[in-house]
Amino acid sequence: MKKCSLILCEKKMSKESEKSLSSAEIVFKPMCEILKASVRNAEINDIFFLFEKEERTEKLRNFISQNEASDIFIAQGTSPFISSDTIEKSYDNFLKNSRRITAVVSDFCNSFSAVWVTVEDLKKHCSFEKEEEILLEDIVKTFDAINEFTSYNNDDFLNAENLCDVQKFGEYKRKKILEKLMLSGVEIPCADGVVISEDAEIESDVIIHPSTIIMGGNKISKGAEIGPFVRIRPGCIIGENARVGNFVELKNAIVGADTKISHLSYVGDSFVGENVNIGCGCATVNFDGTNKHRTVIEDGAFIGCGVNLVAPVKVGKDAFVAAGSTVTEDVPENALTIARSRQVNKTGWVLKKKPYKRMKK
């Protein structure tokens, strides 16, 4: 039998807000997208998100008419932790009970989190013509007899009513991710401010210090040390025994083994080789206002403090870039590059000009 899903996302963040509460993020993912992943893992690919009231007149009716011969799984977009295992087992129960509407109910409280129903029965009981927000409870109330599937997974029944709940869910999820990482051999001596996407790939013997943010789509290799106060945005690969931190931001960057990016630097859209040293206050200047450009720093290069590398630019193997330089042309390997104005001292200038308020003119 064909399956589809309706995710109800009309509830707003507040009375004043125009944003859907289900779009609020839990560890870098909107709640409705977390639920969507579970639905997809349960082999349901045809999914409709009901975000706006006006959608029901056309888009929702079209979705239902296109799936007339289907079974439909309905849940709130604010219930992000319904597991794919629960979705699959409740569907098996739904089939065993002659496809009578089946609610996923809790074993510890008077609550339910989702329902299975045939689209044919849904059309008989729900017209979706009223002006108010469509609620899962209202759909269930229209049916006389309801089959129940009991779930023993408490996470299935966590439903956010407001942004305060979302924050609590985020902290709950954050701790679960960190626990899983630590059990796999990732050292997190102090978890304060550490937020890591569950999609990030982090190998054992990595050390992660406080106030480190690691988003999804990143890989951190064995023995690397990250933080404190580091933000790693998507698209980064960090090699073995590399050191990244303090106050460093990476984005779409490959960082080779044993490379050190230690202080107050930004490295974006870059390839950084092995055994590279990037000094304090450096930046890869990757955006010209229209396009992003790539910086290449080859193995063994030394980038002094306060250097700007204006992409596209390449620093050759074992090259040395002097502190304070703004580099706009390629640097040959083994070369020293100095790209800054010569210092000029005006002796006695302050005494003559008296530029400070404390000095009487």
Catalogue the active-site residues: 263
| Tokens, residue 237 | 């690969």
Strands (E), 107-176: 112-118, 147-151
Distance, in Å, from the CA atom of 176 to the CA atom of 186, rounded to the nearest integer, reads 14
Q: Which residues contact 133 (CB under 8 A, 6 or more apart)?
A: 10, 11, 53
Burial track 243-275 (b if 16+ CB lie within 10 A, e otherwise): bbbbbbbbbbbbbbbbbbbbebbbbbbbbbbbe
Handedness of CA 109, 13, 114, 145 (dihedral sign): positive
Distance, in Å, from the CA atom of 171 to the CA atom of 180, rounded to the nearest integer, reads 14
Burial track 2-38 (b if 16+ CB lie within 10 A, e otherwise): ebbbbbbbbbbbeeeeeebbbbbebbbbbbbbbbbeb
Q: What is the CA radius of gyration of the chain?
A: 28
How long, in residues, is the chain?
361
| Tokens, residue 211 | 């106030």
233 within 8 A of 28, measured Cβ to Cβ: no
* Residue 72 identity: I
Q: Which residues contact 314 (CB under 8 A, 6 or more apart)?
A: 295, 296, 297, 298, 330, 331
Distance, in Å, from the CA atom of 253 to the CA atom of 247, rounded to the nearest integer, reads 16
Distance, in Å, from the CA atom of 260 to the CA atom of 1, rounded to the nearest integer, reads 56
Euclidean distance between the first and the last CA atom of the chain, given in angstroms as a whole number: 90
Distance, in Å, from the CA atom of 269 to the CA atom of 174, rounded to the nearest integer, reads 28
**Strands 248-255 and 230-232: what pairing?**
parallel
Q: Say how far residue 174 (Cα) sits from the centre of its chain.
A: 12
